[in-house]
Amino acid sequence: MELSRRHILLLSGVGLAAFGGGFYAGSIQHHAPDLRDTLLAVLDDPASAAAAGRAWFQSSGVSELDGDALALGLARRLKLQGWNSKGEVTLKEALGKSIRHDFETDDMVSIAGWQFARTSAELCALAASAPAPEA
């Protein structure tokens, strides 16, 4: 799948979705597959996110993504923004805070010529590492 302007605009929903909704995160101490599913549940278009994630890693020469490590790293990043098992900060709120922090600190990555907040890029990479849905 080639990254088109449409896909990039859809992916902006990753950041916008982070500012709304009442998604209860639960504990980030889940097993990695459960954690991955929890994190990916915020994506409106997982296929487009996965395409961006693949493009990012292919351009940097990485051949295989470790989804469990990506999920745990992203969870640690979100925990710094207050995401916890008590639900005081929802997953979407923590994503929004982390994305804003990335922009404020210029923690950006380039994907197909577009600039993404590192948090968004990591979520896209996580989508790329997810097993294909069963038919």
Residue 32's pLDDT band, with cuts at 50, 70 and 90, is low
Residue 34's pLDDT band, with cuts at 50, 70 and 90, is confident
Residue 59's pLDDT band, with cuts at 50, 70 and 90, is confident
Q: Which amino acid is at 91?
A: L
CA-to-CA distance for 114 and 5, rounded, in angstroms?
A: 10
Percent of the chain with pLDDT over 90: 53
pLDDT at 84 > cutoff 90: no
- Tell me if 89 sits within 8 A of 3, measured CB to CB: no
- Cα Rg, the chain, nearest whole Å: 14
pLDDT at 124 > cutoff 60: yes
- Tell me if 108 sits within 8 A of 117, measured CB to CB: yes
CA-to-CA distance for 127 and 70, rounded, in angstroms?
A: 10
Percent of the chain with pLDDT over 70: 72
pLDDT at 60 > cutoff 60: yes
- Tell me if 102 sits within 8 A of 119, measured CB to CB: yes
Per-residue pLDDT at 33: 65
